Structure 1
Amino acid sequence: MDGKPLPDPHLAAAASWHPVEGTPAKKRVAMGSSIGATIETYDFIGFGTAAALYFNTVFFPSSDPLSGTLLSFATLGVGFAVRPLGGIVGGYLGDKIGRKPVLVGSLLLMGIATVMIGLLPTYQQVGVWAGVLLVAVRVVQGLAFGAEWGGAILMTFEHAPWRRRGLYTGITQAGFPVGLLLANLAFLASVPLGDQWAWRVPFLLSAVLIVVGIVIRLKVEESPEFEEIKSEGEVAKNPLLEVLRTDWRNVLRAFCLRIAETAGYAVSVTFLLSYLESEDLAERPVILTGLLLAAGLGIAATTLWGALTDRIGRRPVYVFGTIVTLAWGVPLFLLINTGTAALIVIAFVMSYTICQNSLAGVQGAWFSELFAVKTRTSGASLAYQLSAVVSGFTPLIATALYAGVGWIGPALLLSAYGLLGLVAAVITTETWGPKERAEVAELERVAIASRGATPSAPTHQVAPPATATSEGK
């Protein structure tokens, strides 16, 4: 060593959580989590596309198009409404028995439910039972998707190099635009099959993806940080109650941060799909092409936004994204209302790659850093999935606003979500500011120097730096 002291004494305490430079499995874990996120998003978001384009007449009476659209979006919202329950159960199990079992179980459950959607009878075949069965399967989807996110993100975060956690969790978050891309490719390719098979085939194709995802996830190693607290007997007895008792403020902050992203997406993409079609502003190929382009660009955008947070911090990127969302509401609908294909595509790209991806790319690292290790899955999952209740019913709210006051209603709703996210970003603790970045840079320097002095010694390992958690305050 050169005698230079560590920036913070607590960082010198030896621990076997994992190396500051990440575990040997870090890349495999990131890709495995991302692939799983891709598959689950394909299933879950595919439902949103089908709800906007097909389900209003397939599962509900076609005599009243507006009522059918409202019922279709209400069914979409049911899946979001039960996601907090899935997040609670998945988070609890993730903190009690490990992250990996939750990853595998949630993917299997999602796959079964999605294939069943493709096999459901229609309203013309069984009447009101069609809608009832759709809701039942949607509930299962919501539970599975609610359990998915926390396990995937936490596995990636806890294997990743400390100075590149934004990039690595951004890779996992990029699985969501990949899923969006694949889902919309499937729906675009199935259009020539006719209304009966155009919505069934994309759900049935999910079976192939599920098998691939299960095989990959079974090979992923358990989180080293969970293994450490388990070996030391530090696993929380009731992680959910503990995080609510000690860290409820961070749960609330993350909840508000998440609403700006997920509810904003529900207005600027999900609601917009039905708006474009109901107003006859664009044909389905144009709509789906815009979604495909946005999703394709979103894969790189999400990863790059996450990587940017490693350089400048989590909060600045989030503040930028929420400001853009706040300002984007009215201009978005002005572009859409022109009915010009190119402008409609630009609107989708702007809404997704900047407004949504700039926020989603930050959440994996920022939300994880807000909570202590033993309650991290419960805290992050609860905040993340509670916001799904708001976003799930946002298309329904936007449709009602549009019916009452016209397009200005949904436009202002989008801006309101951006404002909420901006306020939350300003009051949430920065977990990766200049001080934290300097501390970890010093830890890397010490680790490299240690290996240079003793080549046969294991990688230098230390406890993670303090963040805005109940343990780090």
Structure 2
Amino acid sequence: MTNSPPKLSLQMRGPVHGTGNQTRVAFGSTAGAVIEAYDFIGFGTAAALYFGTVFFPSKDPLVGTLAAFATLGVGFVARPLGGIIGGHLGDKVGRKPVLVVSLIVMGLATVLIGALPTHAQVGALAPALLVTIRIIQGLAYGAEWGGAILMTYEHSPWLKRGKFTGFVQSGFPVGLLLANLAFLVSTRLPGDWAWRVPFLLSAVLVIVGLIIRSKVPESPVFEEIKDSGAVVKNPIKQVVKDDWRNILRGIGLRIAETAGYAIAITYMISYLHSSKLATSAETILALCIASALGIGATMGWAALTDRVGRRPVYLWVTLFNAAWAIPMFLLVNTGLFLAVVVTVVISYTVSQNALAGAQGAWFPELFQANTRSSGASLAYQISAMVSGVTPFLTTLLYMHYGWTGPALLFLAYSLIGFGATLVTRETWGRQERQEAERISAATPTDSFRSDVPARHALAAKAVN
């Protein structure tokens, strides 16, 4: 019984009880994810509150905001290329090297933003430098996610894959919290220091992250692939050829989460500020409360997928988001600070955190192990182009239709996610959970690498 290979739907998932390093790997991956999120998301906050006037001065503040959001979008457009590079290297040379390099690149780029001259100092050169560095940020962020998630996923026990990948996904709200706390404190600083300091502080976080990540061992699944000679020559080409449908499904799933976030959080910051519904300090405080709660919410939603499956969580939450599109704007339009806090908290802890929590385990399970890094990264990062242009598009919609334009766009994104969920297979349904429980119970807990017939899985070269 213990030597029988698992069902094809459970193959190529690594040791059934994990490697014994799962906690250390999850912590290391999460630490890096926190720093990457701090760096990348901090730009969004600065774009909404400062960059419109600092780098794109205009007589019309809305024009400056549009330009700042366009620069924000450039980073998202660059993320798919980063995902291609990171995914390719993750499948060719390993998950760990991608984690280290992406963290270094992101950190250097973020510190440089904090040191940039403004438009008042060097004219048009300032926004040109900002756009260039934002592209570099996008490349680094696009490369990072796949490695962090797969390292954690492939080290973790089968029955707790959602829980452990949820730690990594919670790095996003931790980074959001740190970024907004930094901006909340820095708003009291004089002049440009109000936006420079949060970026310069990234240098400290990067040093800590590199120390932690340097001690993380390589993925056991990648080592099995390398030892068996199953490394694919061109993983990007292979996964597009074999799994293009899952890539498209993943893009649809991600649009509901990441593009929805771009409206409910990123654009909402600007909307509250420009409509004078909340002060900058109140807006950032609401974000801090939401992101603090979002840490536990993300891990909770992710762990829930271990018990009920990945798909049910997505189905119910995308339906909720469709129903939430209009009420979230009606609430903030009251101008009451409590209503603003409640709206931001719900939009974040439910609308975004639940979907992000489910993605950590679901996306890797949709692809074969030897092209998993490329496939998951492509699906995850291509959708970022949509979310990147969303604040810009939402601002245009607001100019023509008022708040109903952004609300209806949020509704559309939610329905796209719901439709993608309907056509995406469940990878951790009742049969998979029962089979995994059977294998787990029949396998010694101290066997680690030897407890899964990985080479049988590699010979099958399939997960469904």
TM-score band w.r.t. shorter chain:
over 0.9
Distance in structure 1 (CA, Å) of the matches to 2:117 and 2:141: 24
Contact 1:70 1:399 in 2 (8 A): yes
Distance 1:465 1:274, change over 3 A: farther
Aligned length: 463
Superposed, which structure 2 residues align to 1:102-117 within 5 Å? 102-117=98-113
Residue of structure 1 equivalent to 2:452: 461
Give the CA deviation at 1:247. 0.4
| SS of residue matched to 2:443 | helix
SS at match of 1:19: coil
Residue of structure 2 in register with 1:40 after alignment: 36
**Is 2:451 aligned against 1:471?**
no
Aligned mates of 1:379, 1:418 — CA distance in 2: 23
Say which SS state the counterpart of residue 61 (structure 1) adopts.
coil
> Could you tell me which amino acid in structure 2 is paired with residue 347 of structure 1?
T
1:331 corresponds to 2:327: yes
Q: 1:43 to 1:408 in 2, by over 3 A?
A: same
State the match for 1:247 in structure 2.
Answer: 243
Secondary structure of the equivalent of 1:82?
A: helix
Aligned residue in 2 for 1:267: 263
Question: Which is worse superposed, 122-131 or 377-386?
Answer: 122-131
Change (3 A) 1:167 1:4: closer
Is the 1:290–1:349 Cα contact (8 Å) retained in structure 2?
yes
Give the alignment of 1:202-221 within 5 angstroms.
Answer: 202-221=198-217
465 and 184 in structure 1: CA distance in 2 versus 1, 3 angstrom threshold: farther
Alpha-carbon distance in structure 2 between the residues aligned to 1:350 and 1:358 = 11
Closer/same/farther in 2, CA of residues 8 and 39 from structure 1, 3 Å limit: closer
Q: Give the counterpart of 2:309 among 306, 313, 318.
A: 313
1:457/1:245 CA distance change after superposition, 3 Å: closer
Q: Name the structure 2 match of 1:408.
A: 404
Q: CA deviation at 1:50?
A: 0.1
- Tell me what 1:28 maps to: 24
Alignment CA distance shift 1:465-1:77 (3 Å): farther
Q: Which residue of 2 aligns with 1:348?
A: 344
Checking the alignment, whether the CA contact within 8 Å between 1:277 and 1:284 is kept in structure 2 is yes
Which amino acid is 2:236 matched to?
A: L
Take 2:167 and 2:252, find their aligned partners in 1: how far apart are those partners?
Answer: 23
Instruction: Report if the CA contact (8 A) 1:251-1:380 is conserved.
Output: yes
Deviation at 1:129, TM superposition (A): 1.1
- d(CA) in 1 for partners of 2:9 and 2:80? 35
Cα deviation, 1:420-457, whole Å, max 9, x if unaligned, reads: 00010111000000000011101011104xx7xxx999
Structure 2 partner of 1:286: 282
Whether the 8 Å contact between 2:20 and 2:448 is mirrored in structure 1 is: no
Q: Which of 80, 88, 98 is the matching residue for 2:76?
A: 80
Identity, % of aligned pairs?
Answer: 59
Equivalent-residue separation in structure 2 for 1:436 and 1:142 (angstroms): 36
5 Å-filtered alignment, 1:369-384, equals 369-384=365-380
Ranges in structure 2 where 5+ consecutive residues have no aligned partner: none
1:427 match: 423
Aligned partner of residue 77 in structure 1, secondary structure = helix
Q: Distance between the aligned counterparts of 1:285 and 1:185, measured in 2?
A: 10
* Aligned CA distance change for structure 1 residues 9 and 77 (closer, same or farther; 3 Å): closer
Q: 1:73 to 1:127 in 2, by over 3 A?
A: same
Aligned residue in 1 for 2:161: 165
RMSD: 2.1
Letter of the 1:145 counterpart? Y
Relative to structure 1, the CA distance from residue 188 to residue 8 in structure 2 (aligned partners, 3 Å threshold; closer, same or farther) is: closer
Q: In structure 2, the residue corresponding to 1:194 is in which secondary structure? A: coil
Match of 1:136 among 127, 132, 149: 132
CA contact (8 A) 1:6 1:439 kept: no
Q: 1:7 to 1:438 in 2, by over 3 A?
A: farther
The answer for the alignment partner of 1:65 in structure 2 is 61
Shift of 1:99: 0.3
Q: Secondary structure at the match of 1:430?
A: coil
- Deviation larger for 370-379 or 124-133: 124-133
- Output the TM-score relative to the length of structure 2: 0.96
User: Given residue 375 of structure 2, which amino acid in structure 1 is its aligned partner?
Assistant: G
Structure 1 portions without partners, runs of 5+:
none
What's the CA shift string for 1:240-295, capped at 9, x where partnerless? Answer: 00000000000000000000000000000000111111111111111011100000
Amino acid at match of 1:320: W
